[in-house]
Structures are given as structure tokens and as C-alpha cells.
Structure 1
Amino acid sequence: MTGSLDGWTVVFDLDGTLVDTAPDLLLALNHVLDHAGLETVDLQTVAGMIGHGAKAMIQKGMSHQGLTPSDAELEGLFARFLVYYSEHIAIGSRPFDKAPEILDGLAADGAILSVCTNKKQDLSDKLLDALGLAPRFAAIIGADSVPSKKPDGDHIVRTVQAAGGDPARAIMVGDSRTDERAARNAGLPFVFVPFGYEAESVEAIGADAVVSHYSQLPAALSRLISQAVASARGR
């Protein structure tokens, strides 16, 4: 990398950005559906719901079969989902290719690394611990640890602050429209990773940078930081 990342915080989404969690989320969803006497579904059916919470996945899995759960039914299925998922959280989930190595490189160059996710806090911590990624992050802030989750920009701001960083010197990396909106609401540049679960096209997301593999991330961050520094000098 050509420029230092000292003083900059890089904020990562979790599901679909750092870790391919789809195998275990689908496993938990199908466990719930099967227990309820319903047909199981494939990843294509619910992929767009990943990152929007387990309830959205359950509702999608049921609507695919022409069913709509009552609030009470949904809560019961949701509770069962959480128990099963927590017990099988890292069976098939893995970091995306070269993500750990790139994270280490960013940290060596001075970056503060953090995670801002709409996943529940305990599940986020458990997953990152199980995969050996947790020590790399100065802060991991789940949806239930803040007043308002993404796309509220406050979720990102609180994550940066918890990591000891400055929101004016931070960049968000994510795989969804929700991440992009949260970054805009927080005033951060946004890097889009199209290998996640969002169905939106690259053009529709409107990111400041797009990286199709983690090996491209350092250069993208360097460009965005150089642009931000040049813009600040020009004011």
C-alpha cells in the first residue's frame, strides 16, 4: 500500500462482507421450517434477506410457500432459529478469500479495524471468536447494542467512536444498500463488495469504490483517503 492508514478507521459489515455466513444461516432456517412441518428452501430463495435479520429470512421462507406467519408464530420460530443458529454458528461459515490476511495488512499500516453489523451482538461476538477474527477488531457493535441499527448512520458513528477512531476519518465497507445508506447517513465514503448477498447491481449501489476481491481493498482505501485529504486541503 502506498499511503499510511494511521488515524483512519475501516468499518466492516459482517454477513456477506467479512464472512460468508450463508451456509449456517440457511441451515438454521431450514431447521426451523422443517420443525414447523414446512418445506425447506434453497439459498437463492432467501439470499436477498441475509443481512436483514432472521425474521426476514423466516418470513421469506414461508412466503415462498404462500404462507404468512402470525406475530406469535414468527416469534416462536425466531426463538428456535436463534437457539439452533447459536449452536451451529461456524459449521460452514468462513471468511471471504484472503480477508484475514488483508485485515492484518491494513492493521500493520496503521488502520483501526471495526465491525458494524445488524447481527445480534452475542451472535456477532460468537461467530468472530469461532473464526479467530475477533482480536483483529477494536470494536464489534451489533444491532442490539445501539439505539438504532443500520441504515441509521449513528450505528456507524458509535462503532467508530467505540474503536477509538474519528468519524471524519473513517470508511465503510459493506455488501448491501443498507450499508451504503448507513455510510451516507454517517458521512463516510463507501466501498461495495459485490460478492455478498445484496441483489442490487454495482451501478444501483452507487459506491465510492467497488472491490470484487479482498486483494483489491488496500488500493481502494488508499485512493479514497488520498481523495479525502486532497479535498480537505482544497477547502
Structure 2
Amino acid sequence: MARQPLNDRATVVFDLDGTLADTAADLIETMNVLMARENVAPVPVERARDVVGAGARAMIQRGFALGGRSLSQDKLDQLFVDFLDHYAQHLAVKTRLFPGVVEALDLLEAAGHRLAVCTNKVETHSVALLEALGVADRFAAICGRDTFAYAKPDPRHLTGTIEKAGGDPARAIMVGDSRTDIDTARAAGLPVVAVTFGYTDTPVTALAPDVIIDRFDELYDVVRALDPDLAAAVA
């Protein structure tokens, strides 16, 4: 059960892959199992920025494209099911939280923020991974691409996550690592913070988020600046 915020501050919503957690190794190793079955060259983990970040279906398509193979819709559907089955058993082998995540969550929680996760990972995997990493109880809502009938970059995925967390969709801040997160927040009319260490084929510096951070120890001050109520409380 997520802890209750001390005050009614803005909800802070996080992407998962490439934002809260460095999931690339486990994602790509799962994809490479499928690629080996299809006699396609594996994708090195160093290419994570080219394939990870828009959900499993997009990752499979991108990975096979790097191997010179296009996929029919039926084949993609089959590989997607196989991917989910394999990944469910291997989602926290090498995955770790990025440095400073726990400390940032501590500060935001102490300041009274609701915390939530809005990801294009499926919900069961998202919850299981965050439980394995020891932080699932920090979030009032963990919403995946299958939680609602729509997913990022549809802004309703973000606003629905905020509502499920008990927050106000008009008073929230998105934290992500990719064009998808930035476009989603923009469409919802919300400020967005982008991290530079995630998975994106376009540098976040070229995507014009409201703020860019290189480390999680910068996040609290950024949220303080973006949330007028918090700024006034700590001034």
C-alpha cells in the first residue's frame, strides 16, 4: 500500500524504463532470445537507446529491423506474447534503480507529493519489477500500457494515472527520458522533466522539455521550482 502524502502537493509521475530503472540489459537479453530463435543477429546492449523506450512491440520491431528483418503483424503478435512470457521470468536479473532514485523519492514524499508511475511496460511487469526493486509501495498508482484503453503518448494515460493516484490531473509533473514522455506531458498540458541517462534515439536536449537533469539528486529542487505550493512552503 502506497504511503499517504503529508500535504496536497503536485503529483510527480515517473516513467519506468530508462527513468527510474536501468532495465536495458534484461529487456535486450529477452529480445535476443527471440532473435536467436529466428536466426537474427543479436542486438548489443549498447544499442538500447535505439530500441528501448516505446514499449515491447516497438522494441521487437526495432530490434528485428536492426537485424535486417521486417515482421508481419501476425509474427509480431506471436513474438510479443513470447517476449512477455520470457521477460516475466527475467525482469530483475540485471535491472537496477538509477543512482539517487530512493533518496529523491524520500525527499518528494516527505514534502507531501503523491508519486506515481506511468509506463508503456505492461502493468503486471511494472508492478513486479518495482516490487523486486523494493520501491513499489512508494507509488500511489503504477499504470502500464494495458491499465487503460490508451497508452502514452495519449495524454489520457498520464491523466488517468494521476487520477488513479488520487491526484489532480491539472497539478502534476512528469519525469521521463524520451520523446514519448515529453509529448505525453505536453498533450496533457503538464510540465515535464527529462533525464539525460535514459533510452532515447533523440537526445532530450533536442526535445525541449521544461527542465533537463543529469542526476536524481537534482530532481527535488526542480520539482520545488515547478510546484508553486512547494516553493512557497520551503521559501
**What is aligned with 2:189?**
187
1:209 aligned to 2:205?
no
Give the alignment's TM-score, normalised by structure 2: 0.91
Which residue of 1 is the match for residue 107 of structure 2?
105
Inter-partner Cα distance in structure 1 for 2:52 and 2:43 = 14
* Correspondent of 1:30 among 25, 29, 32: 32
Partner of 1:12: 14
Deviation at 1:228, TM superposition (A): 10
**Residue aligned with 2:217, SS:** helix
- TM superposition shift of 1:188: 0.7
The structural deviation recorded for 1:227 is 9.4
- The aligned residue for residue 54 of structure 1 is 56
| Counterpart-to-counterpart distance in 2, 1:134 and 1:156 | 18
Over the matched positions of the two proteins, sequence identity in percent amounts to: 45
Question: Which amino acid is the alignment partner of residue 18 of structure 1?
Answer: L
TM-score (norm 1): 0.91
Q: Unaligned 5+ residue runs, structure 1? A: 231-235
Matched, 1:145 2:155: no
In the alignment, which residue of structure 2 is the partner of 1:74?
A: 76
**Distance in 1 (alpha carbons) for counterparts of 2:191 and 2:7:** 15
Give the conservation status (yes or no) of the 8 Å contact 1:177–1:200.
Answer: yes
Q: Which residue of 2 aligns with 1:233?
A: none
Task: Say whether residues 1:221 and 2:232 are aligned partners.
Answer: no
- 8 Å contact 1:51–1:119 — kept in the other structure? no
2:177 maps to which residue? 175
Whether the aligned pair in 1 keeps the contact of 2:49 and 2:198 (CA below 8 Å) is no
Q: Which amino acid aligns with 1:159?
A: T
1:107, CA displacement in angstroms? 0.4
- Distance (whole Å) between structure 1 residues aligned to residue 58 and residue 199 of structure 2: 14
Kept in 2, the 8 Å contact 1:170–1:188? The answer is: yes
Provide Cα deviations, 1:101-138, integer angstroms capped at 9, x if missing partner: 21012101111000011111111111111111100000
Q: Aligned residue for 1:86?
A: 88
Which letter does structure 2 place at the counterpart of 1:209?
V
CA distance in 2, matches of 1:31, 1:51: 19
Partner SS state of residue 24, structure 1: helix
SS at the partner of 1:192?
A: strand
| Structure 2: segments with no counterpart, 5+ residues | 1-5
Does structure 1 conserve the Cα–Cα contact (< 8 Å) formed by 2:123 and 2:146? yes
Could you tell me whether the CA contact under 8 Å between 1:195 and 1:212 is conserved in 2?
yes
Q: What is the distance in 1 between the residues matched to 2:80 and 2:130?
A: 22
1:132 maps to a residue whose letter is: G
Question: Structure 1 CA distance, aligned partners of 2:151 and 2:63?
Answer: 23
Paired residue total: 227
1:156-187 CA deviation, whole Å, 9 max, x = no partner? 11111111111122111000111111101111
DSSP 3-state at the match of 2:53: coil
3-state SS of paired residue (2:92): coil
> Which structure has greater helix proportion?
1
Moved over 4 A (4+): 227-230
Distance 1:173 1:5, change over 3 A: farther
- Cα 1:47–1:201 change in 2 (3 A) is closer
